[in-house]
Amino acid sequence: MIENTPDIILNHVSKVYANGTVALEDVNLVIQQSEFVSLVGASGCGKSTVLRIIAGLGTPSSGNVELNLKERKLSFVFQDAALMPWANVSENVYLPLKLAGVPKKDALVQIKQAIARVGLEGFENNYPRQLSGGMKMRVSIARALVQKPDILLMDEPFGALDEITRSNLNTELLDLWHQHHWTVVFVTHNIYEAVYLSNRVLVMGNSPGHIVADINIDTPYPRSESFRTSTEYNKYCRSINEYLRVK
């Protein structure tokens, strides 16, 4: 059997911010290609810090990070949609390509595809203020997809949305993941969302942030709506909840 190189490895990663806050202590993880892994934990436990370190937006104070980026590309979806208010949907999606020096005319097909993939055809010329929260989040996802990532890091992308929109976007995200075989690292507060989406859920504890449990969600994909009401699903959610309550 040919073993693929893992996409992400963190070895004994700790992070102390300049003000002395110890955000992470001895975080170890290995994420394989095409895995969907969620990080759950209470506010302030260091989820975003882990994601930012993986993205290279922050450096570990000790320990090291190994990323399989030779032939693989990484994109980041931020917690708030973080769109440019003065730019329409197309221009917002074009931004990462523009920053990479791709002329607009060469990017048009990619922009169109990314917008279509998140179901926003017809809204290309709308400005962020003319979109709902869920639509803004889709634009933000399209902006990550336009870069044709292999590894997608998502920091609470659906945190600000109502349950119905969130659950629709969860289904769409799984469809896209199924088509593209991305490696996804997904940060959320929401245990139910984490269980529904993931191959594995990493549970983080607080003060300082560390991983307290690594739980395989063995239910096969595609996961239908009935998974959300199954005993199996409830069992996973309860077990994660217990890990979160243990201090």
Residues contributing to the site for ligand ATP (CB under 6 A): 17, 19, 21, 23, 41, 43-49, 189, 209
The CA distance from 1 to 173, in Å, is 30
Q: What's the min distance (Å) between Cβ of 55 and Mg ion?
A: 13
The CA distance from 176 to 179, in Å, is 5
Q: Is 73 buried (19+), middle (13-18) or exposed (0-12) by CB count in 10 A? A: exposed
Give the binding range for Mg ion (CB under 5 A) out of 18-26, 45-53, 87-95, 142-150: 45-53
Nearest CB to ligand ATP, comparing residues 41 and 97: 41
Q: What's the min distance (Å) between Cβ of 26 and Mg ion?
A: 20
Nearest CB to ligand ATP, comparing residues 189 and 228: 189
| CA triple 211-71-5, angle to 5 deg | 45
Question: Is 119 within 8 Å of 172 (Cβ atoms)?
Answer: yes
Give the binding range for Mg ion (CB under 5 A) out of 1-9, 41-49, 211-219, 227-235: 41-49
Confirm or reject binding of residue 48 to Mg ion (CB under 5 A): yes
Residues 6+ apart with CB under 8 A from 36: 177, 183, 184, 186, 197, 198, 199, 200
Nearest CB to ligand ATP, comparing residues 38 and 49: 49
Nearest CB to ligand ATP, comparing residues 142 and 240: 240
Nearest CB to ligand ATP, comparing residues 7 and 25: 25
Out of Mg ion, ligand ATP, none, which partner does residue 86 contact, by CB within 5 to 8 A per kind? none
Tokens at residue 227, please?
């998974």
Out of Mg ion, ligand ATP, none, which partner does residue 229 contact, by CB within 5 to 8 A per kind? none
Assign 148 to helix, strand or coil.
coil
| CA triple 145-78-195, angle to 5 deg | 85
Positions touching Mg ion (CB under 5 A) are 48
